[in-house]
Homo-oligomer: A and B are copies of this chain.
Amino acid sequence: MKTESQHLRLIASCPGRVGILARVATFIAGKGANITAANQYEDTRSGTFFMRYGFELPGGSGEIESFREDFASVAEEFQMDWRIQEVNYRQRVVLLVSKFDHCLAYLLHRWKVGDLKIDIPCVISNHETLRDLVDWYGIPYHFVPVPKEPAAKQAAFKETARLIEEAVPDAIVLARYMQIFPSWLCSKFRHRVINIHHSFLPSFVGAKPYHQAEERGVKLIGATCHYVTEDLDQGPIIEQDVVRVRHSDTAEEMMRRGKDVENTVLSRGLRYHLEGRVIVHGNKTILFND
């Protein structure tokens, strides 16, 4: 008989000192749990520790809460910034889009065939363009136009924030959402808003990066998945990749060619986020990927 167990993940960071791993591992072993994966890294410049442990906690789902409560005192002792994920919990991901549909279509397809084991409570858009596609997948679509007039714009973002909050999301993906989030919105969902920028940052910040790339005559174009912060396209980078272009490629052809790299970079970045592989450290990320 296979006894019941809970597959959990602990992700944490704290000031470095002797005995952290021993304390945490002993705590986990004391609960009878088998550690199946572990990553630890110390940033020697700042003296910060980063950890990610996967483990099987014996018992029913009721054990999780008591594990969390008991661990809280360990965490306090080491001044940890921490979270515990249930590996089989379907995380909730809100998607924001404008008119380009390739990232949206990619994520919805991967979700539908079960490659992306998430729930998508809703899609929010400042346009009506992609409603049909989203309808086909049976997902609620919220149209929140974002006018240029400041007060109306603020109201639109408030409504956007309300819809996001209502969805209780683990991640908010700007899947080619062409509006700039105000500072307060970035803060509100800090380290949960993931953007895909269609260039190899820090090259070609801002609008029309493919046109900038074509203008500069680069031989590779790229895409960058990053957390959104107050500074446009300056947030902590999660993942990047590039693809080769030719002298004969116009900006339009680069756009077409870039879609694949945008999709793979965004989906890898989102997956790293959901799997607790990314820990933000200042304006950079620790990425545990093995």
Contact = CB atoms under 8 A, between A and B. Distances in A.
A216 interface: yes
Interface string A4-18: 000000000000111
A27 B72 CA distance: 24
Given A287-B290, A289-B246, A34 B17 contact: yes
> How many copies of the chain does the oligomer comprise?
4
A8 to B, nearest CB: 14
Q: Range of interface residues on chain A?
A: 35 or more
A15 to B, nearest CB: 12
A interface secondary structure, majority: mixed
Contacts of A217: 236-237, 283-285
Contacts of A17: 34
18 contacts: A21-B38, A34-B42, A36-B42, A36-B44, A37-B40, A39-B39, A101-B113, A109-B109, A200-B203, A216-B283, A217-B283, A217-B285, A219-B238, A220-B242, A242-B242, A260-B260, A288-B290, A290-B290
